[in-house]
Structure 1
Amino acid sequence: MSKGLFITGTGTDIGKTYVTALLIKTLRQHGYDVSYYKAAISGARSITTSDAGYVNKIAGIGESPDLLLSYLYDHAVSPHLAARWEEKPIEKDVILQDWQRVTTAYPYVTVEGSGGIICPLRDDDQAFFQLENVISWLQLPSLIVCPAGLGTINGAVLTAFYMKEKGLPVQGFIVNHYTGSPMEKDNIRMIEKLSQKPVLTVVADNDKLLYADTDSLISLYQ
């Protein structure tokens, strides 16, 4: 049976896609057949130029585009709004069918979320659901990507608390844009203290791999 891991973040443009690519690349280089899936991407004209295309290339997956993504939108807005403007609503059945396809093909699948954890995916007369619903449908544990700098304590801890309240299991954090400053080290200490969840590793800009024990990383997939 395939195992999965969901990657969410404390917001948009905090490097979630970059970290996801490094995670998959690191595991693949250590012999684990790990792939990628994302339910919806907005703000890209093609899969190749989207987050999914970036991960596919950087992580060395080499997968066909149709197995990486369910919905692609041109408009760089929240998926629910892009779907409304482009008259292409996100369907639960499509996500579940695509998830079945990718988990049939790979023993490990990394799922990247859209934006932060509170991201609406559909809001119309027929249905309303958010990113958190996708995590529940797929029954996956999550990692939270957060930046290293000023303000991250609030965003990281609130995200973890929200997910706990919603019954979404969190495995821990990966801290991005890390430079090793005293403030960043204390941010990590406070995130762990307040959330009671571990910071699993840190990532600097322009890193090529995740510097963490790969056996520990693959054990996060369930």
Structure 2
Amino acid sequence: MPVLVITGTGTEVGKTVTTAAVAAAALAAGRSVAVLKPAQTGVRPDERGDADEVARLAGPVTTAELARYPEPLAPGTAARRAGMAPVHPHEVAEAAAKLATEHDLVLVEGAGGLLVRFDAAGGTLADAAELLGAPVLVVAPAGLGTLNSTELTARELRARGLELAGVVIGSWPESPDLASRCNVADLSEVADAPLLGAIPSGAGNLPPTDFRTAAPTWLAPPLDGVWDAKAFGAREAP
């Protein structure tokens, strides 16, 4: 898959660290990687954005950002309030397609969830994925409430005829509660897609060299890793 779209079930679910892990595992497998952030919000022009954080953790990836808005809001809202031009789905698709001609893998990291709006016309990351014909990886939290948001995201993807590549738990706690442990089995069931990894909580705070070494152990073989969903589920089962 030359282009993989990465979305979350919401904000603050570990999407950027998951993107970095996918990039690091792909690099370790000998693939060239580009990371595209269509719209970065809540960051000043002189601050590091999500794509920069992916590069810091993962290593030598090409990074691209189409727009940056100062307020931490949905991209369409942030663009309107800043009086700046919004990003449109076709621009995201065109940028990703161009990067795909020069790289083995292009990771398109959205902002928040699948249907967060880019522009006044209601364009979303889902629309960009449709234009690209690209599979979508869903990053979900571990705990209570994740099953509903994950199933809704999966249903929307299928309603649009998009491929759901799988689900990754974006931050697996060191001491998981009962809900988190039950969700290991239930997430793949409600999504009707494989669980493709679990990123340890705090992984983004690791030194980059340690992050790159460990990343393949957090992800399943379809994402260039060695993580075993069955073994993980058996170990964490309540």
1:198 counterpart residue number: 194
Offset of residue 96 of structure 1:
3.9
Offset of residue 99 of structure 1:
2.3
Offset of residue 215 of structure 1:
4.4
Aligned equivalents of 1:54 and 1:140: distance in 2? 23
Of 181, 198, 202 in structure 2, the residue corresponding to residue 185 of structure 1 is 181
Cα 1:211/1:97, change in 2 over 3 Å: same
Unaligned runs of 5+ in 1: none
Please state whether the residue corresponding to 1:129 is helix, strand or coil. Answer: coil
1:211 aligns with 2:217: yes
1:173 counterpart residue number: 167
1:61 aligns with 2:69: no
| Alignment: residue pair count | 212
Offset of residue 194 of structure 1:
2.5
Cα 1:47/1:9, change in 2 over 3 Å: farther
Aligned equivalents of 1:210 and 1:12: distance in 2? 24
The amino acid of 1:5's aligned partner reads: L
1:9 counterpart residue number: 8
- CA-atom RMSD, angstroms? 2.2
1:120 aligns with 2:117: yes
Of 76, 79, 82 in structure 2, the residue corresponding to residue 83 of structure 1 is 79
The amino acid of 1:83's aligned partner reads: A
Please state whether the residue corresponding to 2:66 is helix, strand or coil. Answer: strand
Of 105, 110, 134 in structure 2, the residue corresponding to residue 108 of structure 1 is 105
Offset of residue 198 of structure 1:
1.3
Aligned equivalents of 1:32 and 1:106: distance in 2? 8
Aligned equivalents of 1:61 and 1:43: distance in 2? 25
Q: Is the 8 A contact 1:27 1:218 kept in 2?
A: yes
Give the TM-score, by structure 2 length.
0.80
Greater per-residue helix proportion: 2
The amino acid of 2:186's aligned partner reads: M
Offset of residue 141 of structure 1:
0.3
| Identical-residue share of aligned pairs (%) | 28
Q: Is the 8 A contact 2:89 2:124 kept in 1?
A: no
Deviates more, 1:158-167 or 1:210-219: 210-219
Aligned equivalents of 1:195 and 1:93: distance in 2? 27
